[in-house]
């Protein structure tokens, strides 16, 4: 009886052991040794279905893919086989021997654990390759590159950034989207539209690749020193061939999502040399021609002529102000109309800008318009150049003669009138018999009207003298006139932005120009200092409310971002209203 009990106990133990032996749960890695730039695949495999799967924490890895779940059911010679696998793709964070802890799962009410896995991470290898690691293949087959035309430009010199997506020959891309757009802080930027994506063949690190140009941008640095170009980041759906084949022998393609970045780039912006810098230099950098052109040089008094101050060429055309035209006081001149005819390509901004003046002479004579000069920094010779317009003489043929001595130094008059012979009936139209009749009226002598008509002309003399003095002071105030001009230009550009509502690119370009000229008018910020840090510090120094300053800076940042993101007409209208409101509030608060 005792022997029978021992036999039964042994059978129970054997049965239980066999039952437990039938359940398998283990961890398998694609390699035990890998470079820090490689990817590791780890599979958690079980031969029975389970619940409550808990993976390790992967503390020393970044999970770049997974968990991917696969199930296999098969029958062979009447025997059923079942396999379930949880797969992860890992990127190591550091070098050295790394421990991957146990995973757990519940199968038929029992908790099972995998064994601890140790892997060794070495320094980066030249060509990481794991044909079974789809994530690894994808990461090595897709590259986003930012190609910069020049890494050490001068301030206000054009550089281009071309973003290219390189794809290896055995890999495909089915979709992509931008998830992080560069904002180009401290740069004036202009995006060049690309029509369609043209696939081209090229080399990446000496190997054959296909590539497409995703974006082209022209940048004009507005500060000196080391400036960062923020990265462009994309989310891409990549098609990668696997080792599995279909019934025709062709490889199956696996789709994985990859986030790729062009990486941030740093350029070193050089200041313009101080040696030889002209006093009238206003920040023009490039290759330019300068002209002052008048529509006519001979006319009569009270007729008008047009004078155009024009700069043509290639460079930062819309980032500096034209020199101001000065004329004698006997020529009435109106505020100029600013015109721009420019285009942007990979070499920078090209075209022309001009200020068109309307001039109306008041008196007969010859009036010289003094020569004005335009200075710019020539990038090819790396020297400053100056172009002068030459003196232009306006000959007013017919009109009244100016008897004022104040204009003698500016006006040359001629008197070649012929002696006039009066005819006998010269005054025949004057009636000798007026037939006047008296009318009833109050006594005018010593009345209020009498004294008013006597004293008002005398009072007008000092007022006229004060007015003339103020006018001369205003004409001599070159800096003040420059500020007033910038203020008017800001209002005009704001109106242009309103007209361009619905056209995103034109609207935000006009809005940025309005801000630019407004800040010149109010804060005396020149093009070379046009940065958000400078604007913020200057506004705070002028005792503008901190909330107002932050709102204004946020509008500037939104303008930079909006040119490269989808924007609705409603959002454009909101941006215009915010811009107008911000300018109005700053006008009230600034001191």
DSSP of 160-188: EEEEEEEE-TT-EEEEEEEEE----TTEE
Q: Residue 3's pLDDT is what?
A: 54
244 to each of 90, 132, 141, 247, 427, how far by Cα in Å? 22, 10, 19, 10, 118
CATH code of domain 480-589: 1.20.120
For the chain, residues classed under CATH 1.20.120 are 480-589
For residue 238, what pLDDT band results from cuts at 50, 70 and 90? confident
For range 558-584, the mean pLDDT: 76
Share of the chain above pLDDT 90, in %: 25
CATH code of domain 137-269: 2.60.40
What's the whole-model pTM score? 0.50
**Selection from 106-120, 188-202, 501-515 with the highest mean pLDDT:** 106-120
Q: Residue 499's pLDDT is what?
A: 78
Q: Residue 136's pLDDT is what?
A: 61
Contact 54, 25 (CB under 8 A): no
Higher-confidence residue: 588 or 510? 510
Q: What DSSP letter does each residue of 127-163 carry, written as one string? A: S---TT-HHHHHHHHEEEEEEES-SSPBTT--EEEEE
Q: pLDDT tens digit string along 194-235? A: 777 788 898 888 888 889 998 999 999 999 999 988 888 888
pLDDT at 92 over 80: yes
pLDDT at 422 over 50: no
Q: Residue 323's pLDDT is what?
A: 93
Q: In the CATH hierarchy, which fold is given to the domain comprising 285-407?
A: Immunoglobulin-like (2.60.40)
Q: Residue 17's pLDDT is what?
A: 43
pLDDT at 457 over 60: yes
The structure tokens listed for 255 are 């789709």
pLDDT at 432 over 80: no
For the chain, residues classed under CATH 2.60.40.740 are 18-125
Q: pLDDT tens digit string along 127-148? A: 555 555 566 666 678 888 999 9
Q: Residue 379's pLDDT is what?
A: 94
Contact 111, 105 (CB under 8 A): yes
Q: Residue 262's pLDDT is what?
A: 84
Q: In the CATH hierarchy, which fold is given to the domain comprising 18-125?
A: Immunoglobulin-like (2.60.40)
Task: Label residue 356 exposed, middle or buried (CB < 10 Å: 0-12, 13-18, 19+).
Answer: middle
Q: Which of 25-39, 239-253, 426-440 has the lowest mean pLDDT?
A: 426-440
For range 347-374, the mean pLDDT: 92
pLDDT at 433 over 50: yes
Give the number of C-alpha atoms closer than 13 A to the C-alpha of residue 125, restricted to the C-beta side: 13
Name the β-bridge partners of 143: 166
Mean pLDDT of the chain: 79
Q: Which of 136-150, 260-274, 279-293, 371-385 has the lowest mean pLDDT?
A: 136-150
For range 76-101, the mean pLDDT: 83
Q: What angle do CA 90, 93, 96 make, to 5 degrees?
A: 105
d(CA 382, CA 368): 35
Helix then strand count (H, E) for the chain reads 8, 30
pLDDT at 253 over 70: no
């Amino acid at each position: 009886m005792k022997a029978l009990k021992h036999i039964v106990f042994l059978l129970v133990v054997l049965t239980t052991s066999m039952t437990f032996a039938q359940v398998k749960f283990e961890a398998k890695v694609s390699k035990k040794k890998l470079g820090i730039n490689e990817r590791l695949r780890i599979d958690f495999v079980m031969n029975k279905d389970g619940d409550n799967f808990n993976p390790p924490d992967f503390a020393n890895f970044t999970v770049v893919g997974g968990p991917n779940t696969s199930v296999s059911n098969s029958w062979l010679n009447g025997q059923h086989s079942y396999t379930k696998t949880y797969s992860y793709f890992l990127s190591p964070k550091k070098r050295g021997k790394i421990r991957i802890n146990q995973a757990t799962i519940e199968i038929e009410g029992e908790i099972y654990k995998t064994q601890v896995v140790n892997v060794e991470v070495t320094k980066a290898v030249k060509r990481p390759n794991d044909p079974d690691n789809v994530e690894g293949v994808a990461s090595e087959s897709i590259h986003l590159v930012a190609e910069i035309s020049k890494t050490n430009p001068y301030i206000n010199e054009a550089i281009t950034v071309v973003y290219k997506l390189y794809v290896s020959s055995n890999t495909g891309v089915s979709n992509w989207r931008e998830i992080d757009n560069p904002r180009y802080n401290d740069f004036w930027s202009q995006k060049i539209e690309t029509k369609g994506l043209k696939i081209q063949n090229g080399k990446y690190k000496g190997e054959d690749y296909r590539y497409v140009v995703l974006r082209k941008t022209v940048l004009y640095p507005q500060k000196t020193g080391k400036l960062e170009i923020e990265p462009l980041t994309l989310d891409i759906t990549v098609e990668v061939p696997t080792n599995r084949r279909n019934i025709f022998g062709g490889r199956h393609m696996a789709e994985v999502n990859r986030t790729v970045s062009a990486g941030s780039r740093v350029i070193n912006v050089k200041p313009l040399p101080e040696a030889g810098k002209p006093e009238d230099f206003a920040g023009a950098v490039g290759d330019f021609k300068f002209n002052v052109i008048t529509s006519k040089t001979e006319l009569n008094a009270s007729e008008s002529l047009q004078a155009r101050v024009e700069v043509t060429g290639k460079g930062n055309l819309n980032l500096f102000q034209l020199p101001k035209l000065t004329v004698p006081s006997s020529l009435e001149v109106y505020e100029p109309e600013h015109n721009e005819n420019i285009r942007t390509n990979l070499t920078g901004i090209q075209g022309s800008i001009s200020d068109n003046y309307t001039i109306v002479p008041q008196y007969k004579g010859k009036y010289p318009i003094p020569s004005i000069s335009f200075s710019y920094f020539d990038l090819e010779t790396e020297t400053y150049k100056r172009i002068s317009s030459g003196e232009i003489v306006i000959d007013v043929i017919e009109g009244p003669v100016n008897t004022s001595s104040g204009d003698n130094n500016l006006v040359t008059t001629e008197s070649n009138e012929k002696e006039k012979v009066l005819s006998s009936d010269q005054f025949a139209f004057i009636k000798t018999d007026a037939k006047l009749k008296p009318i009833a009226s109050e006594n005018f002598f010593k009345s209020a009207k009498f004294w008013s008509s006597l004293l008002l002309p005398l009072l007008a003399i000092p007022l006229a003298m004060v007015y003339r003095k103020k006018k001369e002071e205003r004409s001599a105030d070159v800096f003040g006139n420059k500020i007033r001009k910038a203020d008017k230009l800001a209002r005009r550009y704001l109106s242009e932005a309103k007209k361009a509502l619905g056209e995103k690119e034109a609207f935000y370009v006009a809005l940025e120009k309005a801000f630019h000229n407004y800040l010149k008018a109010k804060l005396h910020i020149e093009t070379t200092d046009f940065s958000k840090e400078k604007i913020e510090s200057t506004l705070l120094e002028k005792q503008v409310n901190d909330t107002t300053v932050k709102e204004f800076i946020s509008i500037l940042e939104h303008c930079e971002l909006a040119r490269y993101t989808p924007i609705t007409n409603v959002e454009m209208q909101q941006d215009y209203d915010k811009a107008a409101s911000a300018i109005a509030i700053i006008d009230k608060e600034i001191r």
